[in-house]
């Protein structure tokens, strides 16, 4: 337990505040600056256990989450959302990982079992999938804290000195080692990763108040009127849902919370506010070490944010580089053939039109047969027919697009067969009558495995284009 009133008795520097409550991204106290050689993997990470919370329903992502949990939603053509946090763990030399699942977990479990079971358990390395076990009660997980509390037994078996709590449904690149190092060197009970967000979006985040040394002095869970960053009333400091706990402290707090009658069993609503009052809680600013600016991190919790984040990948210099060999993002392997672009020859004469893709990502197994792809992402084993046009869209695995189709600003989930001449995204009222989902920003979303009748419903004349 610490006394907040005495927190300024240590030697500090008087400096102007920035978005993180201080001038630069490094801790202010002497001796608190992270040792970057350790961050490169020179210290053993075997005393750290990573727990990935991957049980979210993802209701705002429906229909993409109709048959799968949010972390299992495809992203970037060949990945699943959970691949990014698992890759971050692996690249951070964290090799003991427990994935806690709950809702609609079968698809996610298949993906992890197929693509992530290459670690050597004999060397103490693993990725374990932990479904609800009801060890301490008959209910499902009541909140994020309860999900960890109900799996205390699994944590105890590993005896980690520190526990890293992660969310399985965010898109970002992060080396967790400097954050863990800061937690150790400053003898914190809890460290929270943070970054500035627009104050208008604070209702989606836990909001922190920090002093010049990044001690957390206040916490609000999804406030309508947040306490903003000093000197910047348009920004608030948000929790990223990434926590480093000293494990013994975490056990104590979870057990105390479990017997409280009025608790919601949630880290943001219960555990963190209490610890801010009577424990040592610090913030770790998530910055790009090369530039000192806020690093790229996205919560793809809605269809529109999922789409925008996907389109970010198509930029000339994308904020998240999937092609960086020094920080590879892994996924389930494929044995599909390379993508192919061919000119369609329907009459045995001139080979026209030409199959091509512009500013797009095309995954293995895909064939573009005389169609044109512009600023789109096509997953594995997609077929695009002659004279079809796909613009600013995301096409899932095993989708067949017939000839003379027009698709724009759409998300087509996997296993769909789109009849020749179909238009999607050109008449939103018509798309809505066919039963497709229309997002707030006008995206058309077609669920997985839709019936042919759904594409044929309505005015047939609207679908045919020359």
Rounded Cα distance between 308 and 114, Å, is: 28
Q: Give the pairing of strands 389-391 and 372-374.
A: parallel
pLDDT of residue 452: 83
User: How many Cα neighbours within 13 Å face the side chain of 133?
Assistant: 12
Q: Which fold has domain 4-312?
A: Spore Coat Polysaccharide Biosynthesis Protein SpsA; Chain A (3.90.550)
Domain ranges of the chain: 4-312, 340-462
Regarding predicted confidence, which is higher, 126 or 288? 126
Q: What is the CATH number of domain 340-462?
A: 2.160.10.10
> What pLDDT band is residue 291 in, cutting at 50, 70 and 90?
confident
Q: Which two tokens stand for residue 180?
A: 């863990």
pLDDT of residue 27: 36
Range in 153-157, 351-355, 449-453 the model is least confident about: 351-355
In this prediction, residues 129-157 reach a mean pLDDT of 86
Q: Which residues pair with 400 in a beta bridge?
A: 383, 417
pLDDT of residue 159: 92
Q: Which residues pair with 219 in a beta bridge?
A: 208
User: pLDDT digit string (tens) for 235-254?
Assistant: 999 999 999 999 999 999 99
Percent of the chain with pLDDT over 70: 86
User: pLDDT digit string (tens) for 408-462?
Assistant: 999 999 999 999 999 999 999 999 999 999 999 999 999 999 888 888 875 544 4
Closest CA to 171 of 311, 50, 334: 311
pLDDT of residue 462: 45
Q: Would you say 355 and 370 are in contact if contact means Cβ atoms under 8 Å apart?
A: yes
User: pLDDT digit string (tens) for 3-51?
Assistant: 444 443 333 333 333 344 433 433 333 334 343 434 444 456 889 999 9
Q: Would you say 52 and 82 are in contact if contact means Cβ atoms under 8 Å apart?
A: yes
User: pLDDT digit string (tens) for 65-117?
Assistant: 999 999 999 999 999 999 999 999 999 999 999 999 988 889 999 999 999 99
pLDDT of residue 141: 86
User: pLDDT digit string (tens) for 177-193?
Assistant: 999 999 999 999 999 99
pLDDT of residue 344: 65
User: pLDDT digit string (tens) for 201-228?
Assistant: 999 899 999 999 999 999 999 999 999 9
Same-fold call for 4-312 versus 340-462: no
Q: Which two tokens stand for residue 355?
A: 């199959």
In this prediction, residues 267-287 reach a mean pLDDT of 95
Report the chain's mean pLDDT, rounded to a whole number: 86
Closest CA to 158 of 287, 232, 8, 49: 49
């Amino acid at each position: 337990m610490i006394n907040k009133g005495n927190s300024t008795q240590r030697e500090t520097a008087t400096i102007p505040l920035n978005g993180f409550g201080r001038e630069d991204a490094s801790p202010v106290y002497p001796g608190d600056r992270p040792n970057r050689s350790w961050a490169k993997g020179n210290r053993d990470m075997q005393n750290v256990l990573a727990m990935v919370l991957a049980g979210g329903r993802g209701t705002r992502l429906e229909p993409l989450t109709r048959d799968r949990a949010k972390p299992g939603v495809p992203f970037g053509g060949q990945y699943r959302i959970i691949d990014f946090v698992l890759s971050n763990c692996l690249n951070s030399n964290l090799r003991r990982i427990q994935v806690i699942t709950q809702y609609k977990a079968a698809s996610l479990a298949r993906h992890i079992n197929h693509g992530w079971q290459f670690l050597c358990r004999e060397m103490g390395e693993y990725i374990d999938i932990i479904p609800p076990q009801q060890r301490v009660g008959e209910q499902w997980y009541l909140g994020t804290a309860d999900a960890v509390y109900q799996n205390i037994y699994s944590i105890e078996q590993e005896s980690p000195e520190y526990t890293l709590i992660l969310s399985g449904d965010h898109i970002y690149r992060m080396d967790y080692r400097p954050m863990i190092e800061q937690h150790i060197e400053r003898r914190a009970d809890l460290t929270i990763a943070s970054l500035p967000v627009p104050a208008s979006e604070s209702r989606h985040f836990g909001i922190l108040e920090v002093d010049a040394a990044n001690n957390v002095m206040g916490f609000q869970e999804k406030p309508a009127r947040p306490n903003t960053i000093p000197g910047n009333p348009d920004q608030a400091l948000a929790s990223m849902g990434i926590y480093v706990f000293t494990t013994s402290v975490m056990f104590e707090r979870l057990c105390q919370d479990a017997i409280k009658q009025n608790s919601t069993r949630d880290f943001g609503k219960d555990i963190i506010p209490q610890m801010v009052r009577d424990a040592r809680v610090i913030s770790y600013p998530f910055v790009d070490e090369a530039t000192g600016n806020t690093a790229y991190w996205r919560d793809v919790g809605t269809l529109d944010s999922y789409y925008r984040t996907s389109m970010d990948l198509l930029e000339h210099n994308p904020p998240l580089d999937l092609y960086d060999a020094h920080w590879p993002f892994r996924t389930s392997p494929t044995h599909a053939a390379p993508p192919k672009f061919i000119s369609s020859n329907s009459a045995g004469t001139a080979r026209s039109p030409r199959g091509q893709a512009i500013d797009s990502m095309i995954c293995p197994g895909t064939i573009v047969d005389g169609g044109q792809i512009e600023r789109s992402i096509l997953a594995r084993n997609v077929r695009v027919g002659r004279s079809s046009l796909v613009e600013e869209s995301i096409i899932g695995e095993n989708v067949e697009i017939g000839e003379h189709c027009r698709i724009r600003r759409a998300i087509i989930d996997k296993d769909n067969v789109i009849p020749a001449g179909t238009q999607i995204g050109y008449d939103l009222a018509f798309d809505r009558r066919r039963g497709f989902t229309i997002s707030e920003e006008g995206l058309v979303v077609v669920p997985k495995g839709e019936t042919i009748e759904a594409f044929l419903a309505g005015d047939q004349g609207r679908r045919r284009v020359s």
